[in-house]
Amino acid sequence: MAVPEWEQQAKTTLLRIDELDQELLDQSFLAALNHVRTKRGRTAVSYSDKLDSTASTYARQMSILNFFGHVHPHSESLRTPLDRIKKQWPEVQYTGKNLAEFTPYLITTMRAQYFVKKGSDGSITWLDQRKRPLELHTYWSFAEFITDQWMGSRGHRENLLSPNFEFMGMGFDPNRRCFPDEIPTIYIVQNFGLP
């Protein structure tokens, strides 16, 4: 069976934080989610534009307003995930959400030690402990890595495998509060719903 063009692209394109391809990330995360679901006898979920819109807006708000969490500290009407999803999709019956913030670089923990090398042109290169440049994830490997991290956490895993969800939407936004020599991260919001 031929590999879809988007999948081939996701497996070979490096995840550059300054030029995120939202659609390719969406497709990669949907594939990673459905892989873990079907592997465990669950039905695959479909993509929802409404959940995507809500997730994208929330990721952007976390980045711009400098917070991270399931509860929105700056909006009473959009405080909970259910509040935010119901605004876009009033008839939704059941919802869930996973959050993550992680770097596009191939490191296994944000506590990893890394070094900064500044170029004469002002560019920054992040180096590992052996002073080698950090490598970037591909879109595919990033989706698999984050999904695997969520599978290692009970609450996140329950959302990923819940039989109560038929739809999923994703949102991504670069962390705008990074200092120039701080390793960049991406806010990741995964919404689930059942009409």
List the chain domain ranges: 5-104+137-194
3-state DSSP assignment of residue 6: helix
Fold classified for 5-104+137-194 = Pathogenesis-related Protein p14a (3.40.33)
How big, in percent rounded to 5, are the helix, strand and coil portions of the chain?
Answer: 40, 20, 40
Nearest CA among 11, 24, 96 for reference residue 54: 96
Q: What is the mean pLDDT of residues 28-43?
A: 98
What confidence tens digit (pLDDT) does each residue in 158-192 have? 999 999 999 999 999 998 666 666 788 999 999 99
CB-CB contact of 135 with 106 (8 Å): yes
